[in-house]
Structures are given as C-alpha cells and as structure tokens.
C-alpha cells in the first residue's frame, strides 16, 4: 500500500502495526505526500509539489489537516491527481496485490559495543530484538514456532546455542522472555557475550473467531504458558481422562489436551414392559477415596516393611474385583500409616495373601 513507502522513507526503523497506518500517517508533515505512491507512482510530481505548497500557504502542516476536505473539492482543483490523493489518504485507492510472498529470514543480528556478562542487561538487549521480530511476524500474519539464539562470547570463540519452543505457536513476547530467562539462567556468563544472533522459525497464523464478550486474557493462553515452562524443564504435563475400568491403574490415561467426557452411569434400556440394566462397573469410583500420588505399578511389601506400618482399620475400606466372570484375584484396600507418619494406600491380593503399596495420600 501507499503508506508503506512513506513510512519506509521517513521511519525506516519503525514497524507500524496493522490497522494503525492511517492514524500514524496523519501526524506526518505535508512534504511526505511526495512519497505516498506505493506500487502506482504519481502521474506528475510537479502537481503534488503544487498541492503541498498550496496547503502550506494556508497554514496546514500535517497530512491529518487535509481530512476536512472532500474528494470533489480536490478533484475540482487538481483533477485526477487530487482525487487519487484523497483516495490514498483514506485508504480507498484500488490496490495492486503483489503475488509474491515474503521469503526473507526472520533473523536479527546484534553487536554489542561492550561485552555483557550480566543476565538483566542481556535480557534487555534480546527483548528489543524479539519485539522487532514479533512486529515483523504480525505484518506477515505468522506465529512463532521456534526461536534459535546464538550467543557469541568474547574469548575462545565460544558460542552458546539456545532453542525456545512454545507449547503452541503465537506472538506472546512475555512468554518468550520467560522461557528465555529460564534458559539463560543455566548459561555460564563468565565469558561475556559480544554478539548475538536471533532467528525465528515461523508458522502460519491460526485465525480464530472469538466471542464478543470473551475476556482478552483467556485461560487457554495462561495454560499454554504453563505447559511451555513445564516442557522446557522436561516435565510431562497433561489431563487425566477417566476410563470405565475397575483397577485404579487402568481407570485413567494422560492426554495432552483437555477433552470433555461423558459421566459414567448405569444404562437402562426399556422395550415394552421389559427393561434391561447395563451397569457401569466403575461409576462409583469417581467418589471413592484415591491417593494424590499413585504408583504406576503396585509395589510388593516385605514382612519387615509390613510390620512397621499401622493399619487404621482391621476391615478393608474398599474391595475391588477385576473381573468376577474370569479368574479374579480380588483386592482388599486398607489405609495405613508408615513409620514416618505418612498415610498409605495398601491392598491385599486375596489369592497370594500378599500386601502391595499402591499410593500415598498428601
């Protein structure tokens, strides 16, 4: 568009956000009209210079002062040039759409006059570069998929290579700075940093139609930030999805995304005067006491370990049958206290008559 050439000539180090071009254009001086061309040049620059001189004589200084005039007034005095000027000022000129897509790499190179060995100063320098690259991404309608940073040290030609990968693509500068701060905290900065290279690997922007009343800060955005921080620390995160299974270790699975699930209830089928009941064998387990820390595989307890535990009741608090139609082993669950006073979840295998540790209560 035409305003792009004006900003390139007058503010070459500034990136104007989308939908803000018209507001920033109004504060520019009248002399900027000569560069308001875009892909279609002025028919005669002499006419544009006459227009600038005319309005300057009237005491007008900025492009925004021309908003008070109608297109017919400019067309009547300067013909097609006046009409084209009005259309360009109001963003109504027919645009020539270039078929070329941006292919330039999103790389920013920073050379420091004085080597930096303090983390706050280094973060400040990196934030400026990331902010600039994110503005470029916004203009290209792209998101950040990965950030690769090369820190070139002052001595021994040493180079630190860092990679940041958000859980979901986006342009959240605050999240990128948090990830970067955590990464840099592990880097030894005794050898100061002299030069930096920041590269962003982009991906297409996802377009979402948000509800009119939706809050600006969504819970999903906060969740993505937490997942990104956990992934950077090599921690596995997810959501528990329940299954209709009897045994506790098989009654759930870990999923990366939240999924709605149907409640587990008994099903009653009625046909005429007869009915059929299909019981859900684990629908009561949602209300059963379960430890917050459950072992993936129950651990067999020796007689010495069992003697050190104090059972809170002589009768089982829960009995599970993992398939009475087959050869069921059966489990009797108990609450017990360890020698350190920790509440444990134990069960006895009724065939082996052996006790197993299955979880811990906080």
- Among 31, 55, 89, the domain boundary falls at 89
- Does any domain span residue 262? yes
What is the mean predicted confidence (pLDDT) over 8-19? 71
Across the range 318-341, mean pLDDT stands at 78
237-246, Cβ contacts within 8 angstroms, sequence gap of 24 or more: 242/286, 243/282, 244/280, 244/281, 244/282, 244/283, 245/282, 246/281, 246/282, 246/285, 246/320, 246/321, 246/322, 246/323
What does the mean pLDDT of the chain come to? 80
Please tell me whether residues 61 and 140 are part of one structural domain.
Answer: no
309 plus 356 within the same structural domain: yes
Which pLDDT score is estimated for 195? 92
| Tokens encoding 355 | 């006790």
Confidence (pLDDT) at 224: 72
Q: Which has the higher per-residue pLDDT, 348 or 237? A: 348
Lowest mean pLDDT among 17-21, 89-93, 120-124: 17-21
* Whether 45 and 55 share a structural domain: yes
The reply to whether 271 and 335 lie within a common domain is no
**pLDDT for position 218:** 61
Domains contained in the chain, number: 4
| Pair 324, 281 in one domain | no
Q: What pLDDT, in 10s, does the model give residues 130-147? A: 998 988 888 888 899 899
Structure-model confidence comparison of residues 264 and 30, the more confident one: 30
Q: On the CB side of 337, how many CA atoms lie within 13 Å of its CA? A: 6
Q: Is it the case that residue 239 has pLDDT exceeding 60?
A: yes
**Residue 313, CB half-sphere, CA atoms under 13 Å: how many?**
11
Q: Is 202's pLDDT higher than 80?
A: yes
CATH of the domain at 180: 3.30.1490.100
DSSP annotation string for 321-361: -S-TTS----EEEEEEE-TTS-EEEEEEETTTTEEEEEEE-
Residues 308 and 255 in one domain: no
Q: Are residues 200 and 111 in the same domain?
A: yes
- 230 vs 120, more confident: 120
Domain of 249 in residue numbering reads as 238-288
Query: Is pLDDT of 17 > 60?
Result: yes
Q: Say if residue 1's pLDDT is above 80.
A: no
Q: Is the pLDDT of residue 149 over 90?
A: yes
Domain end residue (candidates: 156, 186, 204): 204
Burial letters 51-61, b for 16+ CB under 10 A, else e? bbeebeeeeee
Considering the domain boundaries, does residue 218 fall inside one?
no
CA distance 295 to 301: 13
- In a shared domain, residues 270 and 315: no
Q: Which of 246, 262, 288 is the last residue of a domain?
A: 288
Task: Label residue 263 by pLDDT band (50, 70, 90).
Answer: low
125 lies in a domain?
yes
Which residues have CB under 8 Å from 32's CB, separation 6+? Answer: 6, 9, 10, 63
Residue 62: pLDDT over 60: yes
Answer yes or no: do 115 and 171 share one domain: yes
- 258 and 299 together in one domain: no
88 vs 275, more confident: 88
Whether residues 15 and 49 share a domain: the answer is yes
What average pLDDT score do residues 76-85 get? 87
Please tell me whether residues 306 and 354 are part of one structural domain: yes
The pLDDT, as a whole number, for residue 5 is: 73
């Amino acid at each position: 568009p035409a305003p792009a050439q004006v900003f390139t000539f007058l503010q070459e180090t500034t990136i104007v956000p989308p939908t803000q071009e018209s507001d920033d254009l109004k504060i520019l001086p009248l002399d900027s009209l000569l560069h308001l061309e875009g892909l279609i040049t002025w028919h005669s620059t002499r006419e544009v210079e006459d227009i600038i001189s005319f309005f300057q004589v009237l005491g007008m200084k900025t492009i925004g002062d021309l908003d008070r005039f109608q297109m017919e007034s400019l067309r009547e005095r300067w013909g097609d040039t006046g009409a084209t000027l009005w259309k360009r000022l109001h963003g109504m000129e027919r645009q020539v759409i270039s078929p070329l897509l941006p292919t330039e790499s999103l790389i920013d190179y920073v050379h420091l006059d004085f080597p930096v060995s303090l983390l706050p100063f280094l973060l400040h320098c990196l934030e400026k570069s990331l902010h600039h690259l994110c503005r470029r991404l916004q203009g290209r309608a792209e998101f950040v998929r990965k950030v690769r940073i090369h820190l070139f040290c002052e001595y021994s030609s040493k180079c630190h290579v860092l990679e940041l990968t958000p859980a979901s693509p986006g342009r959240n500068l605050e999240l990128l700075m948090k990830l970067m701060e955590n990464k840099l905290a592990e880097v030894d900065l005794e050898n100061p940093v002299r030069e930096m290279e920041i590269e962003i690997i982009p991906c297409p922007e996802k377009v979402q139609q948000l509800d009119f009343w939706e809050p600006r800060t969504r819970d999903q955005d906060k969740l993505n930030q937490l997942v990104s921080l956990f992934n950077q620390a090599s921690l596995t995160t997810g959501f528990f999805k329940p299954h209709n299974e009897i045994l506790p270790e098989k009654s759930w699975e870990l999923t990366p995304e939240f999924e709605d699930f149907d409640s587990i209830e008994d099903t009653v089928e009625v046909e005429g005067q007869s009915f059929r009941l299909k019981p859900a064998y684990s629908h009561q387990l949602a209300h059963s006491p379960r430890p917050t820390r459950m072992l993936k595989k129950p651990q067999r307890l020796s007689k010495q370990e069992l003697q050190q535990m104090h059972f809170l009741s002589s009768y089982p608090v829960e009995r599970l049958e993992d398939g009475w139609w087959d050869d069921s082993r059966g489990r009797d669950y108990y609450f017990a206290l360890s020698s350190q006073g920790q509440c444990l979840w134990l069960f006895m295998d009724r065939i082996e008559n052996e006790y197993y540790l299955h979880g811990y209560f906080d």
